[in-house]
């Protein structure tokens, strides 16, 4: 546990809290992942979401078919062109998710102290007496006294929209449960979660594989969110599957930790995955409530030290129906930023929420305020100590670039890169200024055709805190034989000026390769 993440003036000037926030080209250094759905799939709304600060669009295949999501993605492409805001695409798998199917979509009211039967017989109609489920092995996995939760879009904790069941008896393939709280389940699909009970289903289902190999390949997805990751082997199997799908060999895999099983194997999963999503909806059920914050702080810290993005979910549930978050939710968002998370993931809030644009804007403003008091100096020292000595060549250059930028109070760090690795390492040290990652495309061939790399690398930095990509002209090499690569640097600086992040007499730190050497230099801009 680390308690020095907050940096405030002492004594705190209360009047400064009332000062209006200053606008910026980048709403916040912390990124926002928005889930697109019924309330957020039109060109107009997606455009507004991009302007408000969304940098990654998540497509949740727990519901909706490929055709529906394709229409949404085509609208996203139009919005990107209209707003000139880059946005990455994340495909979220269904995984071993247990579901209750309500074909009639009639609202189901469950009363406390009543009994309800969970049955794998999906031919039955869902009712207050019987809930058909998509898993035949539940009766073998549970025992008397086990806890099961059922709700829509995971569990809000609201006593009226999710129900807590306790297993009373197992009768053949059916599970008889006592209803612990009165609730009304509305909609066609509810998620079922058996608390701390291993479910014997593959992490990457046949349905997931079909969606990835068709929709995923067609759209060259940037990120795969691997739902219910329980072991490092899950990530390895997913990577092996992607490696056979052409361009998707570059797709980054984000392990979604949402069960005690995933928590238990967290260290090994982190080693294999490209990033981590802390799915607090399910975790909040598998873990005692008082333990959730502890897991978040520990997991985010480990991600930070490994230099891998940490994404936190379920932060402003109440904004699904309300224009403002609760005070606790606003504090929760800020604490996630102070813990060190890279991105906030919005699910139901943007998928079916009434205020998707306002939610993104509000979360962005809270993140920006928290970033102002993030104790970067303490974080930097801690990271350097963790990495230890001797540092790798790249790690040394990255930390030196950040140290130099902080010492000279640079407005921005500009990093020239082909793979994006150097820029991500700089962002790992959490500089207080934005990092412009100038991605230089590389020409490559598969013996049949020539193509430029770079688009994946640029978009994949959109989930890393403080990292903002620019895709350079492929005629400019990332490795220069001269001391400077004036033309591409000028493009980056012009972009910085147009964005308002650099101005005359500002200092800029530039990091690039010159021949076999890596160079960190400080430039002072002229009028």
Number of H helices, E strands in the chain: 19, 25
Instruction: Give the chain's radius of gyration (CA, Å).
Output: 24
Residue 390 backbone phi and psi in degrees, to 5 = -75, 145
E-state strands within 375-516:
412-417, 435-439, 443-445, 450-452, 467-471, 479-480, 507-514
Give residue 246's pLDDT band: very low, low, confident or very high (50, 70, 90).
confident
161 shares a domain with 107: yes
Burial status of residue 261 (CB atoms within 10 A of its CB: 0-12, 13-18, 19 or more): middle
CB atoms within 10 A of CB 296: 20
pLDDT value at residue 470? 82
Select from 340, 372, 404 the last residue of a domain: 372
The tens digit of pLDDT for each residue in 276-325 reads 999 988 888 888 888 989 999 999 999 999 999 999 998 998 999 999 99
- Residue 186's domain is classified under what CATH number? 2.40.33.10
Return the SS3 of 446: coil
Q: How many CB atoms lie within 10 A of CB 386?
A: 12
pLDDT of residue 484: 44
Q: Is residue 450 very low, low, confident or very high in pLDDT (cuts 50, 70, 90)? A: low
What confidence score (pLDDT) does residue 13 get?
A: 60
Same domain, 448 and 397: yes
The reported pLDDT for the residue numbered 156 is 52
The pLDDT assigned to 448 comes to 61
Residue 123 has phi, psi (to 5 degrees) of -75, -20
Question: In the prediction, which pLDDT does 188 show?
Answer: 76
Residue 328: what pLDDT? 94
Burial class of residue 1 (count of CB atoms within 10 Å of its CB; 0-12, 13-18, 19+): exposed
Residues 6 or more apart from 104 whose CB is under 8 A from it? 125, 126
Does 42 lie in the same domain as 177?
no
Residues 508 and 365 in one domain: no
- Sheet strand arrangement including 174-179: 98-101, 189-194, 147-151, 162-171, 174-179, 115-119, 130-132
Instruction: Spell out the residues 6+ positions from residue 388 whose beta carbon is closer than 8 angstroms to its own.
Output: none
Final residue of a domain: which of 342, 372, 402?
372
* One domain, residues 312 and 442: no
Which stretch of DSSP H or E encloses residue 521? strand 517-524
Q: Which of 16-30, 143-157, 194-208 has the highest mean predicted lDDT (pLDDT)?
A: 194-208
pLDDT confidence of residue 481: 47
Query: For residues 470 and 439, is the Cβ–Cβ distance under 8 A?
Result: yes
pLDDT at 443: 64
Do 267 and 362 share a domain, yes or no? yes
Return d(Cα 455, Cα 104) in angstroms, integer: 44
Asked whether residue 148 falls in the same domain as residue 231, the answer is: no
> Considering its fold, how many domains does the chain have in total?
3
Please report the pLDDT score of residue 122 as a whole number.
85
Predicted confidence (pLDDT) per residue in 49-68, tens digit: 999 999 999 999 988 899 99
Residue 253 included in any domain? yes
Dihedral class, residue 53 (left if φ above 0, else alpha if ψ from -120 to 50, else beta): left
Q: Looking at residue 483, what is its pLDDT?
A: 42
8 lies in some domain: no
Task: For residues 478 and 495, give the distance between their C-alpha atoms in angstroms, rounded to a whole number.
Answer: 18
Tell me which residue range forms the domain holding 337: 23-95+202-372
Supply the angle between the helices 393-407 and 421-428 in degrees, to the nearest 10: 50
Confidence bin at 8 (pLDDT 50/70/90): low
DSSP string over 473-499: -TTS-SEESSS--HHHHHHHHHHHHHH
Q: Is residue 10 assigned to a domain?
A: no
What percent of the chain shows pLDDT beyond 70?
A: 87
Backbone φ and ψ of 169, nearest 5°? -160, 155
Query: How high is the pLDDT of residue 503?
Result: 83
Look at residue 15 and tell me if it is in a domain. no
**Are residues 132 and 264 located together in one domain of the fold?**
no
Question: Could you tell me if 180 and 164 are in contact, meaning their C-beta atoms sit under 8 angstroms apart?
Answer: yes
Position 515 scores a pLDDT of 61
User: Of 346, 258, 261, 328, nearest to 296 (Cα)?
Assistant: 258
Task: Kindly state whether residue 477 falls inside one of the protein's structural domains.
Answer: yes
The label of the residue with tokens 């009712």 reads 127
What is the pLDDT confidence band of residue 383, given thresholds at 50, 70 and 90? very high
CATH of the domain at 222: 3.20.20.60
97 phi and psi angles, rounded to 5 deg: -85, 125
pLDDT of 491 reads 76
Q: Which CATH number goes with the domain that contains 397?
A: 3.40.1380.20
Distance CA 49, CA 30 (A): 15
The answer to which of 154-163, 184-193, 211-220 has the lowest mean pLDDT is 154-163
Q: Does pLDDT of 475 surpass 60?
A: no
CB contact set of 291 (below 8 Å; sequence gap of 6+): none
Task: State the Cα–Cα distance between residues 134 and 106, nearest whole angstrom.
Answer: 19
Q: Kindly state whether residue 54 falls inside one of the protein's structural domains.
A: yes
Residues 406 and 363 occupy one common structural domain: no
236 in the same domain as 365: yes
Which residue among 194, 221, 249 closes a domain? 194
Q: Could you give the CA distance from residue 510 to residue 213 in angstroms, rounded to a whole number? A: 40
Kindly report the pTM of this predicted structure: 0.90
CA within 13 Å, CB half, 29: 29
Return the SS3 of 225: strand
322 and 383 together in one domain = no
- Are both 114 and 83 inside the same structural domain? no
3-state DSSP percent of the chain in helix, strand and coil, to 5: 40, 25, 40
d(CA 36, CA 45): 10
- 184 lies in some domain: yes
Mean of the per-residue pLDDT values for the chain? 87
For residues 380 and 430, give the distance between their C-alpha atoms in angstroms, rounded to a whole number.
7
1: in domain: no
Query: From its phi and psi, is residue 240 left (phi > 0), alpha (psi between -120 and 50) or beta?
Result: alpha
| DSSP 8-class letter at 132 | E
């Amino acid at each position: 546990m680390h308690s020095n993440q907050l940096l405030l003036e002492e004594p705190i000037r209360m009047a400064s809290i009332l000062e209006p926030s200053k606008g910026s080209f980048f709403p916040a250094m912390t990124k926002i992942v928005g889930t697109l759905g019924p309330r957020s799939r039109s060109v107009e709304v997606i455009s507004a979401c991009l302007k408000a600060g969304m940098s990654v669009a998540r497509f949740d295949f727990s519901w909706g078919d490929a055709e529906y999501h394709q229409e949404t993605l085509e609208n996203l492409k139009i919005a990107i062109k209209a707003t000139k805001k880059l946005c990455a695409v994340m495909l979220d798998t269904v995984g071993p998710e247990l579901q209750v199917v309500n074909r009639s979509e009639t609202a189901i009211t469950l009363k406390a102290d009543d009994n309800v039967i969970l049955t794998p017989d999906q031919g039955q109609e869902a009712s207050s007496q019987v809930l058909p489920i998509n898993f035949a092995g539940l009766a073998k996995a549970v025992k008397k006294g086990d806890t099961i939760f059922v709700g829509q879009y995971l569990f809000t904790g609201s006593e009226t929209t999710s129900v807590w069941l306790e297993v009373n008896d197992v009768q053949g393939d059916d599970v008889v449960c006592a209803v612990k709280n009165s609730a009304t389940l509305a909609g066609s699909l509810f998620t079922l979660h058996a608390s701390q009970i291993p479910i014997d289903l593959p992490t990457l289902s046949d349905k997931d594989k079909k969606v990835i190999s068709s929709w995923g390949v067609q759209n060259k997805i940037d990120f795969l969110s691997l739902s219910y990751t329980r072991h490092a082997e899950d990530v390895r199997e997913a990577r092996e599957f992607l490696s056979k799908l052409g361009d998707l060999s570059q797709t980054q895999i984000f392990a979604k930790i949402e069960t005690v099983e995933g928590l238990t194997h967290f260290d090994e999963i982190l080693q294999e995955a490209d990033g981590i999503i802390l799915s607090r909806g399910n975790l909040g059920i598998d873990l005692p409530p008082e333990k959730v914050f502890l897991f978040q702080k520990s997991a985010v810290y480990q991600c930070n030290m490994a230099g891998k993005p940490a994404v936190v979910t379920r932060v402003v549930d109440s904004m699904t129906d309300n224009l403002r978050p609760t005070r606790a939710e606003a504090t929760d968002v800020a604490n996630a930023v102070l813990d060190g998370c890279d991105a906030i993931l919005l699910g139901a809030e943007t998928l079916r929420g009434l205020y998707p644009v306002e939610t993104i804007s509000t979360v962005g403003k809270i993140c920006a305020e928290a970033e102002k008091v993030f104790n970067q100096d303490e974080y930097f020292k801690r990271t350097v100590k963790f990495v230890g000595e001797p540092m790798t060549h790249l790690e040394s250059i990255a930390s030196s670039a950040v140290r130099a930028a902080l010492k000279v109070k640079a407005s921005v760090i500009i990093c020239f890169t082909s793979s994006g690795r150097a820029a991500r390492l700089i962002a790992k040290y959490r500089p207080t200024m934005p990092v412009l990652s100038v991605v230089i495309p590389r020409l490559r061939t598969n013996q049949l055709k020539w193509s430029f790399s770079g688009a994946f690398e640029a978009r994949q930095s959109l989930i890393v805190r403080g990292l903002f990509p620019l895709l350079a002209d492929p005629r400019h090499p990332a490795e220069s034989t001269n001391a400077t690569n004036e033309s591409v640097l000028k493009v980056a600086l012009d972009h910085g000026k147009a964005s308002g992040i650099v101005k005359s007499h500002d200092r800029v730190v530039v990091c690039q390769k010159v021949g076999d050497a890596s160079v960190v230099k400080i430039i002072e801009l002229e009028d």
